[in-house]
Amino acid sequence: MSYIPNGNRYDSMLYRRCGQSGLKLPAISLGLWQNFGDVDLRSNYEQTLYKAFDAGITHFDLANNYGPPPGSAEKNFGEILKSGLGQYRDEMIISTKAGYTMWDGPYGDWGSKKYLVSSLDQSLKRMGLEYVDIFYHHRPDPNTPIEESMMALDLIVRQGKALYAGISNYPPDLAKEAIDILRKLGTPCLIHQPKYSMLVRTPEEGLLDTLGQHGVGCIAFSPLAQGLLTDKYLNGIPSQSRATRHPSLKPDQITEDKISMIRKLNDMAAGRGQTLAQMAIAWLLRDERVTSVLIGASKVSQVEDAVGALNQLDFSDAELNAIDQILA
Ligand SMILES: NC(=O)c1ccc[n+]([C@@H]2O[C@H](COP(=O)([O-])OP(=O)(O)OC[C@H]3O[C@@H](n4cnc5c(N)ncnc54)[C@H](OP(=O)(O)O)[C@@H]3O)[C@@H](O)[C@H]2O)c1
């Protein structure tokens, strides 16, 4: 049976303006880095996508290399669009990126114009799309002039293959340079995508200030620290978890000290009447400069848990101080 979306999908989601642009993003967005590859079960990830769209999550984030194997998340997403979800294309913000290793040889990695333009062409084919809404340079390239990477983003937008340009993993000084170059070229930088969570607070060391000053939005990736900021690992490492399935989260990163810290956060979240995942998301949204929180989900219930964060976004100063002390 074909998918029929929830008619009330826009009632409970919060939408925030992305920097000083005209574009609004949902406070919670869904990323397809993991769980949507050929190694994953289609019925499961398909339902996860539908649940997200039903909850008012209009933004789906991809990259050329998401899978595994690389490229398969875009292909699988494209198949789901084709099987029905694509009817709602004008209600969706779809992003993709290039910047990490994608194919062999000198043109399949980093930040040359050759790589960025060819990679987006491949992504569009895999997803069966004429354009993406946001195209990102995925990481800075120390060996390509930043002007060249930014000129590639400008070109792509002028060609109509992307509506907006973004950068990811750029430290504050390079982000400022990229923002300035893009503005001069006439394609303002819409958004920056940094890693940001209670456990990784680097964007607070200058990046958020830079983005705020220049009217650029921010979408925080790995907001749950890949699942650590949930109750998942409090009683050991479950067999079906990222820590057992993917090298990006290694069991030896889950130390006793970290678990004891997470337990305290979990108790605090319970005191606020929410789950730890919900508190971790709400905590990121406390800062208006954070446009959206970009979650991952391996099942429908994780999307449901995440959107529940919107029921309790407020923090007292005492709660924020207590969190700082736990994290210190
Ligand atoms: N720009 C970049 O360089 C970059 C890098 C990384 C990610 N990203 C983007 O950010 C997105 C999100 O990253 P992420 O997946 O690391 O985000 P995350 O939200 O920190 O982690 C998601 C993982 O945590 C676990 N989880 C989520 N909700 C849970 C819940 N309620 N209870 C228990 N476990 C839960 C699930 O893993 P299991 O159930 O499998 O354990 C899920 O796959 C990516 O898909 C991608 O779009 C971008």
DSSP 36-78: SSTTS-HHHHHHHHHHHHHTT--EEE--TT-TTTTTHHHHHHH
Is 289 a domain residue?
A: yes
Q: 1 pLDDT exceeds 70? A: no
276 — pLDDT class (breaks 50, 70, 90): very high
Q: Partners of 96 in the beta sheet?
A: 135
For strands 24-26 and 15-17, give the pairing: antiparallel
Distance (Å) from CA 148 to ligand 1 centroid: 31
Is 326 a domain residue?
A: no
Q: Structurally, how many domains does the chain consist of?
A: 1
Is 254 a domain residue?
A: no
Report the half-sphere exposure of 112 (CA within 13 A, side-chain side).
10
The CATH number of the domain where 88 resides is what? 3.20.20.100
- Alpha carbon nearest to ligand 1 atom 25, residue: 227
**Residue range 85-109, pLDDT digits in tens:** 999 999 999 999 999 999 999 999 9
The average pLDDT across 218-231 equals 98
Distance (Å) from CA 236 to ligand 1 centroid: 19
Q: Which of ligand 1's atoms lies nearest the C-alpha of 194?
A: 1
The mean predicted confidence, pLDDT, of the chain is 97
Is 243 a domain residue?
A: no
The average pLDDT across 39-61 equals 98
Could you list the residue range(s) of the whole structural domain that residue 192 is in? 15-225+284-312
Please report the pLDDT score of residue 52 as a whole number. 98
Q: Is 215 left (phi over 0), alpha (psi -120 to 50) or beta?
A: left
Distance (Å) from CA 268 to ligand 1 centroid: 22
